[in-house]
Amino acid sequence: MLETTKPPAEILKALETAPNIYLVLSPGLYILTASDLYLKATKSTRKAIVGKHIFEAFPANPDLPDADGVQNINASLQEVLRTKKPHYMRIQRYDVPDISNPGKFIQRYWDPSHTPVLDDSGNISYIIQLAANVTDKVLTEQALEKSRLQEQESLAHVKELNEALVSANNQLRQTQGNLHILNAGLEEIVHSRTKELAISEAKFKSLIMQNPIAMQVYRGDDMTFEINNDAMLQFLGKTAEINGKTLFEGVPEIMGQPIVDSLYHVYHTGEQLDITAMPVMIHRNGHDEHGYYNVSYRALYYDSKITGVLGIAIDVTAQVIARQALEESEEKLKVAIATGRMGTWSIELDTKQITMSDFVKDLLGIPADEPATVEKIMQAIDLEYHSDINNALKDAADNHQACDIEYAIRNLQTNEQKWVRATGRVFPGLYGKSAQFTGMFIDITEQKKDEQRKNDFIGMVSHELKTPLTSLKAYLQVLEIKAQKNDDTFVMNALGKSNNQVNKMTTMINGFLNVSRLESGKIHISIQRFDMAGLFKEVEDESIATIANHKVVFSPVDELFVNADRDKIGQVINNLISNAVKYSPQGSTIHVACQVADKCARVCVKDEGMGISAKDIDKLFDRYYRVNNNTNISGFGIGLYLSAEIINRHKGKIWAKSEIGKGSTFCFSIPFN
């Protein structure tokens, strides 16, 4: 190595401990000495580097062919050697070998300055390389730069991101815009749904409000009234002010009543509830009113949750009270039926199924646990009434005719004879049921026996009276002959009147006798063929002889043969004429006519009398029936009854037409054969 001048040792020593990093190089660029800090910074020792060429001691890092600052430092040193002027360098990377790791370098950055120290002759004695290890600074700077770059990068990234964000934002905005539109649409939809809802709710409300049936809507756990329509408010005896109040606030009297449980039951379970005749007490018109209501409750849902209850009420108080009254009267009727020896029966006209109360079964002798059949019933009824009963049944089925018939039965168990009265009428089949022929069955055995006894008595008395009356009449006739001989006009007159009275009495007694005979079935119809014209002539003669105060006009009658009981038909015509006389004013005219109609001989007696009201007409032919307003005219109400019985036994018809104050016409007709 070429050694030139060397700095004095004491300076070198001093420099070694200097707080700077420096190297002292010979003009041949050999290392003369290094400071401690230099050694520390280069991780080397004085021994390892002093005396060595700078680039031998600190060779270039082969891994950094271009980046390493060796070239630049050499150029700077050459510049100093040439110019002998200091040269300052920018920060250089100049890696130093890693002593502990041969072949490897430690990254180092330096900012070297090369200052020549000249000797007296102006030649370079040595070069001091002052350097600062700026590695940390550079690395920091680099890190900073990196971070700056990173920052920039990240900024760029952020920018990018921002841009992305912006575009995303734009997209978002667009999306938002779309969303907005969508939302608007949705809102529109929702709105329109709401509208629909609102419309349907409005419809729902108006439906309730306008409904004539009492309706209400409750909402929520405390049953707040949402709607009560007018009809409901009327039921509740409240005003619309209760809408918005809870049930107990609005209708406090309802508390504790069973209807509340029903309402809550529907609210909690969603079950549909229809209650018939629910008793409800409402404070109405200033007092507690008890009523009966048919109530329907339906749960109201929103989002499949129960939110309320719709209530409908129909006031059935009147019906319930009427039904209760009916049940009461039915009960009373049952008692009356039981004590009145009556029973009930009914026949379904379609199926002929018979139901009858135990009393009827007992009367007929049908065991209570056995069904009643038509055959069994007919078996119990006396044969002679079978056709009457069949006719009545047929009439009921075909013409819905009511019936009221009496007949004799024989108990199927005891063979005891009984008399019964069966009344009934057809009830149309309602609600898909078949029509029913329903009625009462009355045990009239005792009544019949009483009547029988009475008839027997009347018959007996009439019979007993007839004998003295016949002899009285005979005596009167003898006396009349005597008076005629004596030409005693007064006695003749008196006897004539007495004779009339006896005749009247005879007619009366005959009437009673006939009734009694009729009742006991002893009346006998003897049919014969005769000419009605002949009978008419006889009746006319008799009338002329006996009726003085009325004008009786007989229409001419052609020959008209009939098969009938001549006496009894004559008796009927006489009865009708004597009634016409009795019930019409003196001097009025009575028309009697006989003509042919519908293969029958029809006889009519027309008067100009007081007339008969419509309500009495049908009853005139009943036994002992007399119209109330004729109490001043004597009679027993048996004449028309007997006439009707006689005509019926001829299979004929008898009827009356009349109007109060305008006279009456009584007619009968009997078939020719």
Site residues (vs ligand ADP, CB under 6 A): 579-580, 582-583, 607, 609-610, 612, 620, 625-627, 630, 635-641, 664
As measured in angstroms, the least distance from the Cβ of 649 to ligand ADP is 17
User: Using CA of residue 79, residue 84, residue 88, residue 94, what is the dihedral sign?
Assistant: positive
As measured in angstroms, the least distance from the Cβ of 663 to ligand ADP is 8
One DSSP character per residue, 447-487 reads HHHHHHHHHHHHHHHHHHHHHHHHHHHHHHHHHHHHHHHHT
164-168-169 Cα angle (round to 5):
115
Cβ-Cβ contacts under 8 Å for 82 (sequence gap 6 or more): none
As measured in angstroms, the least distance from the Cβ of 609 to ligand ADP is 5
Q: Which residue is nearest to ligand ADP (CB)?
A: 635
Q: Which is nearer to ligand ADP, 569 or 640 (CB)?
A: 640
Q: Which is nearer to ligand ADP, 494 or 633 (CB)?
A: 633
Q: Which is nearer to ligand ADP, 54 or 610 (CB)?
A: 610
Cβ-Cβ contacts under 8 Å for 108 (sequence gap 6 or more): 41, 42, 93, 94, 95, 96, 133, 135
Residue 111 near residue 90 (C-beta atoms within 8 A): yes
As measured in angstroms, the least distance from the Cβ of 579 to ligand ADP is 3
Q: Which is nearer to ligand ADP, 291 or 609 (CB)?
A: 609
Q: Which is nearer to ligand ADP, 217 or 458 (CB)?
A: 458
Instruction: Measure Cα distances from 498 to 191, 473, 495, 532, 547 in Å.
Output: 113, 9, 5, 32, 16
Q: Which is nearer to ligand ADP, 208 or 627 (CB)?
A: 627
As measured in angstroms, the least distance from the Cβ of 627 to ligand ADP is 3
Residue 502 tokens, joined:
């006896």
Three-class secondary structure of residue 245 per DSSP: coil
As measured in angstroms, the least distance from the Cβ of 667 to ligand ADP is 12
Residue 106 pairs with which residues in a beta bridge? 96
- Range list of β-strands (E), 324-473: 342-348, 354-356, 403-410, 417-427, 436-443
Q: Which is nearer to ligand ADP, 347 or 610 (CB)?
A: 610
Q: Which is nearer to ligand ADP, 401 or 630 (CB)?
A: 630
As measured in angstroms, the least distance from the Cβ of 658 to ligand ADP is 7
Q: Which is nearer to ligand ADP, 332 or 619 (CB)?
A: 619
As measured in angstroms, the least distance from the Cβ of 554 to ligand ADP is 17
Cβ-Cβ contacts under 8 Å for 616 (sequence gap 6 or more): 627
Instruction: Measure Cα distances from 16 to 5, 34, 181, 390, 595 in Å.
Output: 18, 6, 81, 160, 182
Cβ-Cβ contacts under 8 Å for 202 (sequence gap 6 or more): none
As measured in angstroms, the least distance from the Cβ of 584 to ligand ADP is 7
Residue 669 near residue 598 (C-beta atoms within 8 A): yes
If phi > 0 it is left, if psi is from -120 to 50 it is alpha, else beta; for residue 285 that is left
